[in-house]
Structure 1
Amino acid sequence: MPISHDQAHHPEIAACRWFPGDATSIRDVRRFITTHLNGCPRSDAAALLASELATNALHHTLSSNWTTGFHVTIEHTPTQHARVTVHDAGSWNNTPHLTQPGPDTEHGRGLYLVDTIADHWGTHTDTTGRKTWATLHCHSPAPHNL
């Protein structure tokens, strides 16, 4: 269920990291998420969401080259949610949108998965690029390994 970026409840940044615009970064994004959300029972789901958002950044934005890359931020909200944000370089003609993939469709499941698994998700574009984020309820608000 998408909500606006402004509806988030003043999150606290737990970790932030830049990743090169390369397919090998997806594995590193998953590891980054599971390491920093170690105490969260939904850390695997958060890693899946982050990898889908990062994959979209690589396939649909200007972040798809090694030097531009993208940032991933993990935040904790006062309502015990973990929010994962992928900040990419944006796109000239591409706005993230939810599609209903067909059973034989090879692509187009990324945001469908995000919408199905995340408690909330959304996207915001400005002059610095695009931020696409997803939140999950996490019973352990204290970040691990900061």
Structure 2
Amino acid sequence: MSLHPNGPNRGQVAALRWFPGHPSSVGDVRRFIANRLQYCAEPDAAILVASELASNALQHTESGNWTTGFLVMLEHTAEGALITVHDAGSASHVPYIATPPLDTERGRGLHLVDRLTESWGSQGGPAERMTWGVVRCH
């Protein structure tokens, strides 16, 4: 979690889109990212990272409300692709890598994000949160 999206490694904004707070938006996020990563030799990691960050926004923040929604930003960087999800934040949930029981289907999203990204991080609080990941595309 070393790269901060406002730091010197920040790239050029390639695309920005708001999504409604509905589970169907996760599929829309996948298509949104896939359609903008033609330069990326292996876009699957970036698509999965975006999907996981969007799912977390829907599940753990007020962005899960249809009208609140969340914003996804894709930037091109020297490392590849910087994917940032801006959500409505939460007073009770801060993104962290959990160790869920083996028999559950949930709770492994940030493990995937951690494995698939060069770096990732999160900042914010009860009113807004920004979570990002950098995926190598070259």
Query: TM-score when scaled to structure 2?
Result: 0.92
Q: 1:90 to 1:127 in 2, by over 3 A?
A: closer
Q: Stretches of 4+ moved more than 4 A in 1? A: none
Q: Taking structure 1 as reference, are residues 127 and 103 closer, same or farther at Cα in structure 2, changes over 3 Å only?
A: closer
CA distance in 2, matches of 1:104, 1:129: 32
Task: Judge conservation of contact 2:91–2:125 (CA < 8 Å) in 1.
Answer: no
Are the structure 2 counterparts of residues 24 and 8 from structure 1 closer, same or farther at C-alpha, using a change threshold of 3 Å?
A: farther
1:5-55 deviation per Cα after TM superposition (whole angstroms, max 9, x unaligned):
144513110000000000000000000000001220121111111000000
Alignment match, 2:99: 100
Q: What 5-or-longer segments of structure 2 have no aligned partner?
A: none
Contact 1:42-1:136 within 8 A present in 2 as well: no
Alignment of 1:3-82 (within 5 A): 3-5=2-4, 6-7=6-7, 9-77=9-77, 79-82=78-81
- Percent sequence identity is 50
Deviation by residue 1:72-130 (Cα, 9 ceiling, x = unmatched): 000011x2421111100101211001113332122110101101111111111168611
Match of 1:142 in 2: none
Q: Which residue of structure 2 aligns with residue 144 of structure 1?
A: none
Please provide the CA RMSD for this pair. 1.6
Distance change (3 Å), C-alpha of 1:74 and 1:128: farther
Three-state SS of the structure 2 residue aligned to 1:59 is helix
CA distance in 2 between counterparts of 1:130 and 1:60 reads 11
TM-score norm. by structure 1 comes to 0.87
Matched, 1:120 2:108: no
Q: Would you say the 8 A contact 1:88–1:131 is kept in 2? A: yes
- Whether the 8 Å contact between 2:124 and 2:130 is mirrored in structure 1 is yes
Instruction: Give the count of matched residue pairs.
Output: 137
Q: Matches of 2:95 and 2:65 in 1, distance apart? A: 19
Structure 1's unaligned 5+ residue stretches are 140-146
The letter of the residue matching 2:97 is L
